[in-house]
Amino acid sequence: MPVANARTVWREARRSLAGRRWQLAALAAVLTAAAAAGIVSPLALGAVVDGAKSGVTSGDPAFVWMLGGWMASSILLGALLGAVGVIGASRLIELTLADLRERMVDTAFRLPQARVERAGTGDLISRAGDDVAVVAEAIPSVVPALAGSFFTIAVTIVGMAVIDPWYALVLLVVVPVHALAVRGYLRHAPQVYAGERAAMADRAQHLLDSLRGLESVRAYGLAVDHIGRIARVSWAVAGWTMRARAIQNVFFARLNVAELLGMGGLLVVGFVLVSNGSGSIGGTTAAMLLFLRLFGPINELLFVVDDLQSALASLGRIVGVITAEPRSRPAHGVSTAPPGTVRLTGVTHSYVEGHDALRDIQLELSPGETVAVVGASGTGKSTLAALVAGVHEPVVGSVQRKGSLVLVTQEVHVFDATLRANLTLARADASDTMVLDALGRVGASRLVSRLAGGLDEPVGSAGTPLTPAEEQQLALARVLLADPELVILDEATAEGGSRDADRLDRAAAEVGRGRTVLIVAHRLSQAATADRVVLMHNGRIQEQGTHADLAAADGAYARLWKAWSRDPPAVQ
């Protein structure tokens, strides 16, 4: 899975920010005003010092009161505007991040399965989990620092230049020292943070592998080996983290040197200016106070460079998914064909090099046609279904589809939610009447009465368990609600068991009415009712035609059919 560079992250963030330009401009105005309010106090204190020296303050208490009033109101105003600015900036950044996250999930769902498998599902989980968490954690520290510091630094430099350009010059001399410290840090930190993130992803992948295969690990006594592997990858994470901390410590030491130089420089300049009479003690005091005031924002900014780097490394991984090439949409060639048309041309597919699961498949499905795919185990039926569904891209040839499609496999996922939510996920605006009608049409009316809460009953692993047949009915009812033009049923009714098999077959037939159906047939009775039968052998189409024609001919299908008719439960 790719990792986006800073330019791409910036481009995608700007895309997510598009349409919020006015909010950005208003935010900049508020933050500039907040920063400007902040320089009133140092300037007023400088005036107090000069006033005390010249005796104005003792002779005119109203002057001191007036300065005090200015200071108090500027502090209050600055705090208010600062709070508004930080809240506004946090909101804007959270919205941008939410948009990026949604786009990441959207792209992740459209990525070819093979690509996700190649990258390791741990990588994707780590990006959607660890990286999103890193960015979310960084926001509370990064946003106020970024929002406040930039404007405070800019306004303070202007304020210092107003007192005396020499003070501003000292600041400008210190800035390169800071800049060098930051540059040195940025040169090494991103790789270290990226390494840390990658090591975390590797650890997540190893943990996931071991947990998923827990039973095999136990059965084969592999626990020690797996614990060793996890310890190794965990130490790799620890190693990267220690490198990151070492880089930070060097960085902070350099920042301290920059502060020392700045403070010393201002004192020297102030001393010279006051000595030669071109500056006042009050002016030097104000300049020193302004500089001291800067420590907070500058350090805050530099401290969060750390969090910022870490967040940017994570953002690069999030945006990397967004910019990953999604599955190409097979539209060409059938764009003028009616919805429900499927065309496979010269399709060859292999999971492992040198071993073709499918070879040179030519197949066309017309709208409304039901095609049953039969054949021995491992002959490529599921691969054919997966290619038509777009789960995999063919290695050679093209798969073209027109219209919407739903794939139903044997593995039905029941979400931890109500029965209604498990059905309306196929169609968000479905009314209860539509949901009940769909359940009725797949023969699952009894399911609603069986569950105490009816449609409101929680199902899934934390709720009331459903039988395998009920899960299949749920999947078929979802198809009715989604109302696609093309349905692919990959052994979708295989779980039923003999008692439920007929009911599920009838439900599958009901779901297929008026749609194009590709069914990987588990029982030859399903093939017998299809419009066309495709018999697979060693990844190729061995025979195809209507059931009646194939059964009457003296071919492989006829032999299968005869064997099955003699002993119906024995399938293929």
Query: Does position 380 bind ligand ATP by CB under 6 A?
Result: yes
Q: Which is nearer to ligand ATP, 104 or 517 (CB)?
A: 517
Q: Which is nearer to ligand ATP, 397 or 403 (CB)?
A: 397
Binding region for ligand ATP (CB under 6 A) out of 377-385, 422-430, 436-444, 467-475: 377-385
Binding region for ligand ATP (CB under 6 A) out of 26-34, 96-104, 337-345, 373-381: 373-381
Q: Is 476 in contact with 447 (CB distance < 8 Å)? A: no
Q: Which is nearer to ligand ATP, 357 or 477 (CB)?
A: 357
> What does 469-522 look like in DSSP terms, one character per residue?
HHHHHHHHHHHHHH--SEEEEESTTGGGHHHHHHHHHHHHHHHHTTSEEEEE-S
Q: In the 8-state DSSP scheme, what is residue 452?
A: T
The 3-state DSSP composition of the chain as helix, strand, coil percent (nearest 5) reads 70, 10, 20
Query: Does position 382 bind ligand ATP by CB under 6 A?
Result: yes
Q: Which is nearer to ligand ATP, 183 or 212 (CB)?
A: 212
What's the min distance (Å) between Cβ of 570 and ligand ATP?
Answer: 14
Q: Which is nearer to ligand ATP, 8 or 350 (CB)?
A: 350
Tokens of 308: 């910022």
Quick one: which of 357, 419, 466, 489 contacts ligand ATP (CB under 6 A)? 357
What's the min distance (Å) between Cβ of 339 and ligand ATP?
Answer: 26
Quick one: which of 228, 346, 378, 465 contacts ligand ATP (CB under 6 A)? 378
Quick one: which of 377, 433, 449, 498 contacts ligand ATP (CB under 6 A)? 377
Binding region for ligand ATP (CB under 6 A) out of 175-183, 276-284, 376-384, 557-565: 376-384
Q: Which is nearer to ligand ATP, 98 or 563 (CB)?
A: 563
In degrees and rounded to multiples of 5, residue 533 shows phi and psi of -120, 135
Q: How far apart are CA 49 and CA 57, in angstroms?
A: 9
Q: Which is nearer to ligand ATP, 197 or 392 (CB)?
A: 392
Q: Which is nearer to ligand ATP, 42 or 375 (CB)?
A: 375
Paired sense of beta strands 516-520 and 532-537, if any: unpaired
Quick one: which of 126, 310, 379, 493 contacts ligand ATP (CB under 6 A)? 379
The contacts of residue 336 (CB under 8 Å, 6+ apart) are none
Binding region for ligand ATP (CB under 6 A) out of 266-274, 298-306, 371-379, 440-448: 371-379
Query: Does position 493 bind ligand ATP by CB under 6 A?
Result: no
C-alpha distances in angstroms, 184 versus 247, 255, 299, 509? 9, 11, 16, 68
What's the min distance (Å) between Cβ of 369 and ligand ATP?
Answer: 21
Tokens of 183: 């540059």
Judged by DSSP in three states, 279 sits in coil
Q: Which is nearer to ligand ATP, 333 or 378 (CB)?
A: 378
Q: Is 111 in contact with 77 (CB distance < 8 Å)? A: no
Q: How far apart are CA 220 and CA 226, in angstroms?
A: 11
Q: Which is nearer to ligand ATP, 21 or 355 (CB)?
A: 355
Q: In the 8-state DSSP scheme, what is residue 111?
A: S
What's the min distance (Å) between Cβ of 536 and ligand ATP?
Answer: 6
Q: Which is nearer to ligand ATP, 19 or 354 (CB)?
A: 354
Region 78-137 residues binding ligand ATP, contact defined as CB under 6 A? none
What's the min distance (Å) between Cβ of 531 and ligand ATP?
Answer: 21
By rule CB under 6 A, what string of x and - marks binding of each residue 312-351 to ligand ATP?
---------------------------------------x
Residue found by looking up tokens 């009616």 in the block: 338
What's the min distance (Å) between Cβ of 385 and ligand ATP?
Answer: 8
Q: Is 459 in contact with 417 (CB distance < 8 Å)? A: yes
Q: How far apart are CA 90 and CA 85, in angstroms?
A: 8
State the Cα torsion 84-87-90-94 to the nearest 10°: -130
Quick one: which of 381, 402, 478, 523 contacts ligand ATP (CB under 6 A)? 381
Judged by DSSP in three states, 544 sits in strand
Count CB-CB contacts under 10 A for residue 146. Answer: 20
Quick one: which of 156, 205, 299, 383 contacts ligand ATP (CB under 6 A)? 383
Query: Does position 516 bind ligand ATP by CB under 6 A?
Result: no
Quick one: which of 46, 375, 463, 512 contacts ligand ATP (CB under 6 A)? 375
Q: Is 49 in contact with 57 (CB distance < 8 Å)? A: no
Q: Is residue 221 classed exposed, middle or buried when 0-12, 13-18 and 19+ CB atoms within 10 A define those classes? A: exposed
Q: Which is nearer to ligand ATP, 41 or 526 (CB)?
A: 526
What's the min distance (Å) between Cβ of 490 and ligand ATP?
Answer: 8
Residue found by looking up tokens 């430099």 in the block: 157
What's the min distance (Å) between Cβ of 139 and ligand ATP?
Answer: 40
Helices 281-322 and 132-163: angle between axes, nearest 10 degrees = 150
Helices 468-482 and 432-441: angle between axes, nearest 10 degrees = 120
Q: Which is nearer to ligand ATP, 350 or 366 (CB)?
A: 350
Query: Does position 352 bind ligand ATP by CB under 6 A?
Result: yes
Query: Does position 570 bind ligand ATP by CB under 6 A?
Result: no
What's the min distance (Å) between Cβ of 530 and ligand ATP?
Answer: 17
Q: Is 365 in contact with 518 (CB distance < 8 Å)? A: yes
Q: In the 8-state DSSP scheme, what is residue 464?
A: B
- For binding to ligand ATP (CB under 6 A), which residues are involved? 351-352, 357, 375, 377-383
